[in-house]
Amino acid sequence: MSSANKIPEKVTANEIRQAFRDNLHSGLGRLERFATKNDLYLALALTVRDRLFERFVETMDTYGGVNARRVAYLSAEYLPGPHLANNLLNLGITDVTREALRELGYDLDEFVAQEEEPGLGNGGLGRLASCFMDSLASVEVPAVGYGIRYEFGIFDQTIRDGWQQEITDKWLRFGNPWEIARPNIAYGVKFGGHTKTFSDQQGTFRVWVPDTEVKGIAYDTPIAGYRVKTCDVLRLWKAEAVESFDFAAFNHGDYYRAVQDKVVSENITKVLYPNDDVDVGKELRLKQQFFFASCSLQDMLNIHALLGGTPATFHEKWAVQLNDTHPAVAVAELMRLLVDDHRLGWEEAWAVTRKTFAYTNHTLLPEALEKWTVGLFGKLLPRHLEIVYEINRRFLDEVRARFPGDDARVARLSLIDEGGPRYVRMAHLACVGSHRVNGVARLHSELLKQTVLRDFAELWPGKFCNVTNGVTPRRFVALSNPGLTKLITSRIGDNWLRDLNQLRKLEPFADDAEFQQQWREVKLANKRRLAALIAERTRIKVAPESLFDVQVKRIHEYKRQHLAALHVITLYLRLRRHPQADVPARTFVFGGKAAPGYFMAKRIIKLINSIGDLVNSDPVVRDRLKVVYFPDFNVTNAQSIYPAADLSEQISTTGKEASGTGNMKFALNGALTIGTLDGANVEIREEVGAENFFLFGLTAEEVEKVKGRGYRPRDYYEQNRVLQEVIDFVASGALARGDRELFRPIVENLLNDDPFLLLADYQTYIDAQERVSALWRNPQAWTRSSILNTARMGKFSSDRSIRDYCERVWRIEPRSR
């Protein structure tokens, strides 16, 4: 990193105090003695925001020059987590701010606790986008994160009587001090209508005659890099009505219909679809996708023109990353803007488009691959459907030339699925319109080439690459785990927060008795804090000395929370039968949201809570097993959970989890992993060493083999006495006050179908858990492994992921190396 970019932050406590007061008085119109906690928080947030925007403006100036290529990260989801503490950290002004507030009689931690996080995403995909924003700024790549400003983000979860309840997320109700609205940055987005041919002196063109239009308004949130001058921006679009709204309705004097349609137009950015890894195929969702893709592209073209560029050189200045297929309609929209609005020829426009886009795939699950019926697509976006057809016609001609007579291949590759009702395949559009396609972990990228994108990989092998996911150590270690941060820094200095590979320098301390002792003390203190939080949220008392065995992530059958549940029941039945059995005390912590319409996932939540009710109150096992369902798993809660975990559960059916990123956050905080060879687990195990990882389960190839042979879960049930007891126990109604119906769907699913192979993996999972218990009995050996896990996680910084994208995909040199 060039030293000019290192920022010695010179702000004093006095200056912060002064700015804080100014903001309270002139920004909020509040007298200090009447100010609520929220007023005080807002005043501090505005104080910090001002400094961020100063930096943002400087960044624009620095990178505004002719040569910079910018990244546009297009993502329908972001999960930034609370901003205040992170911004103070990245600006390097936490201590001075704390001091400034202390002199006024306030506690910074209370201000931090006041903030409600923006839940503008479902899970890993949205959180990854936010880790990438932090890293883009930190390695000093000029970037804009484009997305949607949902008025209601992911629902808040409470647990009532063991069931998930969804509560509307009103994150904007007390105002959002981190964003500024920019009503002057607004674009029209059109929908519906028809197309027609139009001629003028320049020739004959297709034009789109839409029947409605909405306006997208930019809301900017600055994203500061860690201790560097660069400050990027998250630009989220909100839908509003345009004045000249519904031309037809106004002309006929139908005032009410015009107003009603206005409400409809504002609906576009009302709410986030709460589905992770599944496609619901809803019209409003397609509207959301097109809306933000269109606003973002118009904005980029506008900035490009302001900097003196022409449409033909767009790709030289913008590298646009498609975060999954949610923004893939941008491929057709850029073609429309270039061909219809800017009147480039088709070939030239297509060359620009392909050099602009790159596509990241995040899942192999067939139910998550987005497709839209041709009817719906054509109704909302008639001109784009024509463009998709034209892209497809030219593309398939190329395929036919390469593979003459191979009609089956042509049908498989086509952008249109003609197997039944016709669909537009968004992953195909993204592939064809991009110059690079990547998966998010080595295994995932390989499987992608062998399965869902196989024909594309055969056609264009050079287009495919891998970029393994990463996480930001700033939020997930420095902010979440200050105790560990201090301990690490005391031995190796603090440069590891910008160069995570430096954690390797901890290896020599792995066997150092004093360091081990300190390491355990940090973990225990984190577990005490989590235990207090668990008591507050669930009324359950857990012992901080017990093994904290944690599975937090979205609830999904492929992630197999119910396999972990079978393990809990196994231990419970063992202890009931042999109260003297040597089972080290464990606290099982589960957490995560289920899509509101996902029947099995919701039933799994109920199952876990029912096991908890039984186990936690049974005097025979009471102090040895505890089961907690931590409600409302989100970024804020995650920051308390990862640092307190001893064991990280990463037990998805092999081949189903594209990468996982929670796995990285746990290991970085010194948890040992029990996991399958799935997603990024493979690479984590490779880095930390097989001896520091509890492996179990079928490999990806074995999964295929077992399924190919005709998998019969009942065989496993019949041949394994303990497994039989466990399943029978669930079926018996013992967990449901005798009701045998409650968990019947789970039991029947496992015995008759078991699509995620729980029964096939059950015994090796239990065996691996026995190895966990054995190692736990030896604190020195456990601590050694824990230290080595952290020390060897350097690869999984999102800074490394971003540098990989710069090199393999965007061809940009980051300013910080």
Backbone angles phi and psi of 263, in degrees to 5: -60, -45
Structure tokens at 471: 């996480």
Q: Which of 553, 603, 624, 803 is catalytic?
A: 553
- Residues 539-565 as b/e (b if ≥16 CB within 10 A, e otherwise) read ebebebebbbbbbbbbbbbbbbbbbbb
Host H or E run for residue 551: strand 547-552
Rounded to the nearest whole angstrom, what is the least distance from the CB of residue 467 to ligand NBG in the complex? 10
**154 or 759: CB nearest ligand NBG:** 154
- Tell me which residue of 16, 73, 10, 9 sits closest to 46, measured CA to CA: 16
Rounded to the nearest whole angstrom, what is the least distance from the CB of residue 448 to ligand NBG in the complex? 12
**157 or 469: CB nearest ligand NBG:** 469
Rounded to the nearest whole angstrom, what is the least distance from the CB of residue 272 to ligand NBG in the complex? 13
**335 or 471: CB nearest ligand NBG:** 471
Q: Please confirm, yes or no, whether 559 is among the known catalytic residues.
A: yes
- Tell me which residue of 669, 664, 731, 657 sits closest to 697, measured CA to CA: 657
Given the structure tokens 């509560």, which residue do they identify? 167
**434 or 518: CB nearest ligand NBG:** 434
Contact 491/505 with Cβ under 8 angstroms?
A: yes
Rounded to the nearest whole angstrom, what is the least distance from the CB of residue 440 to ligand NBG in the complex? 4
As a whole number of angstroms, the distance between CA 537 and CA 75 comes to: 32
Distance (Å) of CA 530 to CA 361, 480, 540, 541, 625? 35, 12, 12, 11, 17
Q: Which of 336, 554, 606, 685 is catalytic?
A: 554
Rounded to the nearest whole angstrom, what is the least distance from the CB of residue 378 to ligand NBG in the complex? 26
Rounded to the nearest whole angstrom, what is the least distance from the CB of residue 429 to ligand NBG in the complex? 17
Q: Please confirm, yes or no, whether 795 is among the known catalytic residues.
A: no
Q: Please confirm, yes or no, whether 567 is among the known catalytic residues.
A: no
Q: Please confirm, yes or no, whether 230 is among the known catalytic residues.
A: no
Rounded to the nearest whole angstrom, what is the least distance from the CB of residue 687 to ligand NBG in the complex? 17
As a whole number of angstroms, the distance between CA 35 and CA 141 comes to: 40
- Tell me which residue of 635, 636, 686, 640 sits closest to 661, measured CA to CA: 635
Rounded to the nearest whole angstrom, what is the least distance from the CB of residue 669 to ligand NBG in the complex? 17
Rounded to the nearest whole angstrom, what is the least distance from the CB of residue 410 to ligand NBG in the complex? 28
As a whole number of angstroms, the distance between CA 191 and CA 211 comes to: 6
Amino acid of residue 111:
F
**324 or 340: CB nearest ligand NBG:** 324
**70 or 326: CB nearest ligand NBG:** 326
Q: Which of 49, 435, 586, 665 is catalytic?
A: 665
Contact 682/660 with Cβ under 8 angstroms?
A: no
**131 or 295: CB nearest ligand NBG:** 131
Q: Please confirm, yes or no, whether 362 is among the known catalytic residues.
A: yes
Rounded to the nearest whole angstrom, what is the least distance from the CB of residue 186 to ligand NBG in the complex? 30
- Residues 692-724 as b/e (b if ≥16 CB within 10 A, e otherwise) read bbbbbbbebebbeeeeeeebebeebbeebeebe
As a whole number of angstroms, the distance between CA 239 and CA 459 comes to: 40
Structure tokens at 320: 């646009």
Structure tokens at 717: 């049930």
Between strands 180-191 and 156-160, the pairing is unpaired
Structure tokens at 394: 């030219």
Q: Please confirm, yes or no, whether 556 is among the known catalytic residues.
A: no
Q: Cα 760–761–766 angle (5° rounding)? A: 130
**323 or 485: CB nearest ligand NBG:** 323
Q: Which of 287, 336, 362, 556 is catalytic?
A: 362
**81 or 382: CB nearest ligand NBG:** 81
Structure tokens at 399: 């395929």
As a whole number of angstroms, the distance between CA 302 and CA 309 comes to: 9
DSSP characters over 266-310: HGGGTB----SS-----HHHHHHHHHHHHHHHHHHHHHHHHTT--
Q: Which of 221, 468, 653, 661 is catalytic?
A: 661
**121 or 311: CB nearest ligand NBG:** 121
Between strands 357-360 and 436-439, the pairing is parallel
Q: Which of 51, 559, 784, 792 is catalytic?
A: 559
Which stretches of the chain bind ligand NBG, using CB under 6 A? 124-125, 128, 276-277, 324, 362-363, 368, 440, 469, 657-661, 679
Catalytic machinery residues: 362, 553-554, 559, 661, 665
